[in-house]
Amino acid sequence: MSIYYRPLGISGALKVKDQMTFNLRGQSYQALVSPPNILVKPLLEPVAEADVALVDTLPAFTAINLQTKDTLHISENLIKGYDFLYVSVWAHSCRPCIEDMPQFEIFETTFKKRILFIHLSSERNIEQALEVLNQVKPPGIYAVCSESVFSRLNVSGFPRGNLYDKKGKLMRSFSHITSAFNYLTAHF
């Protein structure tokens, strides 16, 4: 089965401008990219050295905790005492990101503090990030990190959130917190 993405209103044949292979959960895939189209298809034979190995566990990385100004070491050890970790990646200039933030309070209340939230922003915008976070005050840890961390988390847009279980295994990625809330409510 192949997945072919073509935005509405765009027609024409796919002319490959770029391609990559990646491995995800034991399966190899090939992505053919010709903006604005993307064709993703599974490969019959596994590729040992794919261009990209998508991360399906929490990668260890460091960030700066905006509340304490300390270095925050994010790894499986941070999750101890929680059933879930939700890493929210956002930008101060992203309106949907800011509109989502009040929903974190509902999420935390419903799951009785079984979930830890980490709100990651780019280190290029520390002052703006703090201004937004101090106004909205979502529950969790506020942190900034390098943009290279975003790619390690497989983030390619805002808002974005990765939901991990207590062992650090990626459960799912979401573009809005309400989708993550609905997912957890339906499954747990």
pLDDT, one tens digit per residue, over 18-35 is 666 766 766 777 777 766
Let me know whether 27 and 83 are in one domain: no
Looking at every residue in the chain, the average pLDDT score rounds to 82
Q: Where are the beta strands (DSSP E) in the chain?
A: 3-5, 18-24, 27-34, 37-42, 52-53, 61-65, 71-74, 84-89, 115-122, 141-145, 160-165, 170-174
Q: Helix, strand or coil for residue 164? A: strand
Cα separation, 144 vs 65, whole angstroms = 7
Let me know whether 139 and 120 are in one domain: yes
Question: Could you tell me the residue range of the domain that residue 44 belongs to?
Answer: 3-53
Let me know whether 72 and 130 are in one domain: yes
Let me know whether 82 and 49 are in one domain: no
Let me know whether 107 and 34 are in one domain: no
Let me know whether 25 and 88 are in one domain: no
The answer, as to whether pTM is greater than 0.95, is: no
Across the range 123-152, mean pLDDT stands at: 88
Cα separation, 152 vs 52, whole angstroms = 10
Let me know whether 110 and 164 are in one domain: yes
In this structure, of 3-12, 36-45, 63-72, 137-146, the range with the lowest mean pLDDT score is: 3-12
Across the range 36-49, mean pLDDT stands at: 72
Q: Which residues pair with 19 in a beta bridge?
A: 32
Cα separation, 8 vs 162, whole angstroms = 27
Let me know whether 44 and 67 are in one domain: no
For residue 6, pLDDT beyond 50: no
For residue 80, pLDDT beyond 80: yes
